[in-house]
Amino acid sequence: MRGASQVRCVLRAQALNGESPVWDERSGRLFWVCLREPALHAFDPKTGQDTAWKMPAWIGTLGLTPTGAVVALRTGLFEFTEKDGALRFLAPAPFDSRRFTFNDGGLDPRGRLWAGPMYEPLEPGDASSAPRALPFWCYGGEGTWLPGTAPVQTANSLAWSPDGRTMYHSDTPQKTLWASDYDVETGTASNHRVFARTHEGVGPDGASVDRDGFLWCALYGAGKVVRFDPQGRVEREVRMPVQYPTMPAFGGEGLGTIFVTSANHSLSLEERRQRPEEGNLFAFEAPVPGLPGPTFRMPEKG
């Protein structure tokens, strides 16, 4: 498990910013996004086929629905229907879209959508004195977003413990992962505390939790995926054949495979030519299976 020899490339995607892998048990496919392409993808590991739907704006995260997915775009939240590729507007983004975009997010155990920001101003830049950090939000329905964490500049590592009582998240530039007490009934997080700190690469990126409650986190820029025990101690490291892994997710038969997206946008064009493996989709066998993923639940009115 500690060497790259057990890690295999399953899709030569060469994605600018592969992110947010989510396993769809119904179809046996891995949904994922390329944030900057921007596109929503569905990869079938049995056939090797990857289907992509172009998006009208940068796409940060997704949650599966019975007919497709909800997608958090820079311009807002939309419902995507796979059959016809249509997008239905649900809510505006809770930020200035010239200054921020959505980055990491996911569904809580009850199917609520959480999504966090990334400070990424559009050209020609940002001369504003406004804050450059914003919280993770929980979508509250009817176009509303409810703030749920302290402000972060680059939201990442959102995941929940097997019992749903602990929520994890990070701010990549701070190289810090936090744990919070989570109320599954109300969808609120409290008692935010430091779970772990990282010291290599740019910082913690996407994360997933396995059946035993261990948190798997990609370290962007460090070329590895790290497994933390529930106390925040490093239990093992899996070296990746790329420098910029972005997020692990469980999938495959029995949720026994870990798929890992990666990115190449941090490299120059010449570096991308010299390192074509950057941005590809990888997989390795997990020592412990993952957890079944929820389906998006539209918040009830009133």
Q: Could you give all domains of the chain from N- to C-terminal order, each with its CATH number?
A: 4-285 (2.120.10.30)
24 labeled binding residue: no
* Tokens of residue 25, six digits: 């048990």
CA distances to 82, 114, 226, 262 from 158, rounded to whole Å, are 25, 8, 15, 17
pLDDT at 1: 41
* Encoded tokens for 246: 């972005």
Query: Does 264 carry a binding-site annotation?
Result: no
End-to-end CA distance of the chain: 49
- Tens digit of pLDDT at every position of the chain (302 positions): 444 449 999 999 999 999 999 999 999 999 999 999 999 999 999 999 999 999 999 999 999 999 999 999 999 999 999 999 999 999 999 999 999 999 999 999 999 999 999 999 999 989 889 999 999 999 999 999 999 999 999 999 999 999 999 999 999 999 999 999 999 999 999 999 999 999 989 999 999 999 999 999 999 999 999 999 999 999 999 999 999 999 999 999 999 999 999 999 999 999 999 999 999 999 999 999 999 999 999 998 65
- Catalytic, 205? Answer yes
Is 19 annotated to bind ligand?
yes
Name the catalytic one among 104, 205, 210, 229: 205
